[in-house]
């Protein structure tokens, strides 16, 4: 397998170009999946307070016996803990559950605009980063409008925005905004979960051309666009398949044809950050 390149973040840190998603892995199965993902070469593990699996993720990381600094961990602030003091208080719990004394990347999980406290949470995240408790701070499911509010009110933009992004929902405008503002895009549901994307003829053809699987074509498309995908799979074999996307390249035409699969109603479950809120 080819070496995994790293993406530079605006705050001077780096992340591997692919990570491992852990929802809805839990318990012993979750710990085993995380341990085997690390064994397969993943060095970035994505979890969230609301996945209620941080203990399993922590056990999986511990089982790998790698030094702490060699595995980067992301978790996410839940909506019910928005607010300045609440965010500071909320931070300790996932660290305890994960068994770590700092986080590599801490994200606001959803903006929850009707609650109206994401800027207060962001000020607390900035403080956590200044205190060295979090290496990088970012958000998830933020639109350009919400990102601009963070910048306008605090002067600090997130290093990362983790959003729904797959061939049926390629996020062309958001990616351009991120590029303009130095924000790294992470893709959740990078394979489109159970949507029938892998059956699309442009993807089947590209897989045949490059002698790889359809899932590898989709993940390579993510990387070709400068996006960091975090595919989830419980299978050790598919974990190895998904990370093995750095030994071939898609042509610009192939990338464009896959991006053209995007559709108006491309979101998997209607998770529009303007209206969808999670506590």
- Residues contributing to the site for ligand NAP (CB under 6 A): 21-23, 46, 140-141, 162, 188-193, 215, 230-235, 238, 241-242
197 in Cβ contact with 168 (< 8 Å)? yes
CB-based contacts of 225: which residues, under 8 Å, 6+ apart?
170, 175, 255, 259
Residue 235 or residue 251: which is nearer to ligand NAP going by CB? Answer: 235
Residue of 7, 23, 42, 51 marked catalytic: 51
Q: What does the block give as tokens for 108?
A: 């606001």
Residue 74 or residue 152: which is nearer to ligand NAP going by CB? Answer: 74
DSSP state of 5: P
DSSP state of 109: S
Residue 136 or residue 242: which is nearer to ligand NAP going by CB? Answer: 242
Instruction: Provide, rounded to whole angstroms, the least separation between the CB of residue 203 and ligand NAP.
Output: 12
* Cα(29)–Cα(175) distance, integer angstroms: 34
100 in Cβ contact with 73 (< 8 Å)? yes
84 annotated active-site: no
- Residue closest to ligand NAP when measured from CB atoms: 21
Estimate the crossing angle of helix 144-154 against helix 118-130, to 10 degrees: 60
DSSP state of 169: B
Residue 129 or residue 233: which is nearer to ligand NAP going by CB? Answer: 233
Instruction: Provide, rounded to whole angstroms, the least separation between the CB of residue 235 and ligand NAP.
Output: 5
Instruction: Provide, rounded to whole angstroms, the least separation between the CB of residue 166 and ligand NAP.
Output: 6
Instruction: Provide, rounded to whole angstroms, the least separation between the CB of residue 102 and ligand NAP.
Output: 20
DSSP string covering 189-202: STT-TTSGGGGSHH
Question: Phi then psi for 185, rounded to 5 degrees?
Answer: -95, 125
- Tell me, rounded to whole angstroms, the distance of Cα 163 from its chain centroid: 7
Instruction: Provide, rounded to whole angstroms, the least separation between the CB of residue 228 and ligand NAP.
Output: 11
Q: What does the block give as tokens for 131?
A: 């205190």
Residues designated as active site: 51
């Amino acid at each position: 397998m080819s070496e995994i390149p790293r993406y530079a973040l605006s705050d001077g840190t780096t992340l591997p170009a692919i990570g491992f998603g852990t929802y809805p892995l839990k318990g012993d199965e979750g710990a085993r999946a995380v341990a085997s993902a690390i064994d397969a070469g993943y060095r970035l593990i994505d979890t969230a307070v609301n996945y209620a699996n941080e203990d399993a993720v922590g056990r999986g990381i511990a089982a790998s016996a790698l030094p702490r600094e060699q595995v980067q961990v992301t978790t996410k602030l839940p909506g019910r803990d928005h607010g300045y003091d609440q965010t500071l208080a909320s931070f300790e719990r996932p660290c305890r559950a994960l068994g770590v004394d700092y986080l590599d990347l801490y994200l606001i999980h959803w903006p929850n605009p009707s609650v109206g406290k994401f800027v207060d949470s962001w000020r607390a995240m900035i403080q956590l980063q200044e205190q060295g408790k979090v290496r990088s701070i970012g958000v998830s499911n933020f639109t350009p409008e919400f990102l601009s509010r963070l910048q306008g009110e605090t002067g600090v933009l997130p290093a990362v925005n983790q959003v729904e992004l797959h061939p049926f929902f390629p996020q062309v405008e958001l990616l351009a905004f991120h590029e303009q503002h130095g924000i790294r895009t992470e893709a959740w549901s990078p394979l489109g979960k159970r949507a029938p994307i892998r059956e699309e003829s442009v993807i089947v053809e590209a897989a045949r051309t490059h002698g790889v699987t359809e899932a590898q074509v989709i993940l390579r498309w993510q990387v070709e666009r400068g996006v960091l995908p975090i595919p989830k799979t419980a299978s050790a074999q598919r974990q190895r398949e998904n990370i093995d996307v750095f030994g071939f390249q898609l042509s610009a035409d192939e990338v464009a044809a896959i991006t053209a699969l995007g559709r108006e109603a491309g979101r998997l479950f209607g998770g529009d950050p303007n209206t969808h809120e999670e506590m």
